Structure 1
């Protein structure tokens, strides 16, 4: 069996996560049992939710265990199979974690599935046509429920979730407005992703200033907001929400280091009769087939042109992960393992 390099969570962070929280280890993959397959990972996914799981705190899922492989999405190729459901050479997506190989039970529902790379590159199954894309789909379709002509805003618009949200909103006849950090990201959001406008939050020091910029980008107010950030950005959006607006609360990266995230204008939830709903996409597996079909068509047709930041080699995962938490990535952050 092959040697398998792995990255473990060595210790839990106190405050900001550090490279020293991780540890590189090496072992060998165990022999396959009946019904199992051996997957060689080509890419692994780095996602903001992983930061919350590093803490030993009450959440929607169990914390990442210390001393074990960091958990996360992977795409790769079956290199050995003892299951009739998979053959060597099959391209698959699963939750193999931060390592070069994984042994997966093919009989466990949802553990692994084949993907078609004819029109969609393999790595995109970790982003636009994977969990982030389905996250955008669920928040938009099931919570924001947009109508043609309405204005939908998304924070972290150049990232994997935000970019998919824009394409999905445009496909429904909406005005799509992004919030992103820096002129390069904003240009990508409008010129390549097809958003109607993008506001650079880095040009604004407070919610009032950012809200004025949003007023120009959203002259008819904001009907739906997909939240990835929290903090000042959410405060600015709240000032521009229309009556009966809907907010899909997906992430609060402003508070991932454990600091409180005060909300400046909670009274607007009542004044504007706003619906605010948090959600976890893994609790809604029933929508995944429908969402993935639409996302695959958008990517295959070129209507969604996702961008990736690709770190090279398993060893690069911790630094790439920490950089992503600070917004250094451009688009979906992945690690090329093989």
Structure 2
């Protein structure tokens, strides 16, 4: 390890609209040395997620922005290399917010050990991690699907959306997925067992969605907003529920002129249809994690929940992959393989 360096992506500037390559800077630094109570982590997998776009901005939000010249924020699966922390030993595989870099330090706060089991350790960043918990908790606590109801989810081929649809089916509901392109829509039906899938790129998207939901929509799990929500909105049944965990259609927007005339119509529907629209951050439901971990592991083992990973090789690919994520170019949970995986190799 003495000849290695810590390669890390820094935030070079804040984007105006969609992020571009110039907003990132690849830096090389010495591998940090852990102090008292700390451990040195070697990053194996880095998760890329839409929320990172918000961290690049300095607008007020639920979390602090990444500072200029700071390491980009991100959750990772990493190997403990050196430990001065009594709870961890070299060789442990952990889930930690080490960021976009090949090595990081941690004092153990917010760190969780990752079991070596029948599924890849990278799934701790996807179906068995934050995206899976987002789907599980948002559907359980806000969506609350009943048997026979129709659940619609946007970005349905992604890590959150795919889990939402499959959990809805397990709960006895009808699952309708919205995705971009025929290949993703076919995946939802043929591989994941959705009842219907609609391509949001189709010119008659709204008409296709209405046909796929002949009895209206009882639960809409919002990951996208924009024109997708425009098509969903007229189909809401009375007492429909809408968990909101993402609005990726607007993440790069600099203004919202279409919203100036939309609010009265929306608010009237909220009143007359008694809609429940609730935003949430996954950590609002952190107490659900033990139930989620048990249920999701069981469903995967039983074949009731399937998952797909989109793994990009090399930390140097992270910015391009992230920009592509915001455009819907990924197919499955987007993960960057930063270093050697000691479990699968």
1:252 maps to 2:253 = no
Q: Aligned to 2:44, which of 37, 42, 67?
A: 42
- Distance in 1 separating the partners of 2:206 and 2:327: 22
Counting only pairs closer than 5 Å after superposition, residues 179-218 of structure 1 correspond to structure 2 as: 179-204=178-203, 209-218=204-213
- Distance in 1 separating the partners of 2:169 and 2:272: 28
Counting only pairs closer than 5 Å after superposition, residues 1-338 of structure 1 correspond to structure 2 as: 2-106=4-108, 108=109, 110=110, 112-204=111-203, 209-261=204-256, 262=258, 264=262, 265-266=265-266, 267-338=268-339
2:290 aligns to what SS in structure 1? helix
- Distance in 2 separating the partners of 1:155 and 1:101: 35
- Distance in 1 separating the partners of 2:193 and 2:207: 22
- Distance in 1 separating the partners of 2:85 and 2:65: 31
Structure 1 runs, 4 residues or longer, greater than 4 Å off: none
User: Aligned-pair RMSD on alpha carbons?
Assistant: 1.4
- Distance in 2 separating the partners of 1:296 and 1:66: 39
The runs of 5 or more residues in structure 1 that have no matched partner are none
- Distance in 2 separating the partners of 1:179 and 1:105: 41
1:146 aligns to what SS in structure 2? coil
Instruction: Give deviations 1:71-96, integer Å, cap 9, x for gaps.
Output: 11100211221222112221111111
Structure 1 window deviating more from structure 2 (93-102 vs 256-265): it is 256-265
Structure 1 window deviating more from structure 2 (160-169 vs 28-37): it is 28-37
Name the count of aligned residue pairs. Answer: 331
- Distance in 2 separating the partners of 1:78 and 1:302: 32
CA contact (8 A) 1:160 1:332 kept: yes
Structure 1 window deviating more from structure 2 (174-183 vs 89-98): it is 89-98
1:167 aligns to what SS in structure 2? helix
The runs of 5 or more residues in structure 2 that have no matched partner are 340-345
CA contact (8 A) 2:55 2:73 kept: no
- Distance in 1 separating the partners of 2:91 and 2:33: 19
Normalization by structure 2: what TM-score?
A: 0.92
- Distance in 2 separating the partners of 1:203 and 1:311: 28
2:18 aligns to what SS in structure 1? coil
- Distance in 2 separating the partners of 1:70 and 1:211: 37
- Distance in 1 separating the partners of 2:55 and 2:284: 17
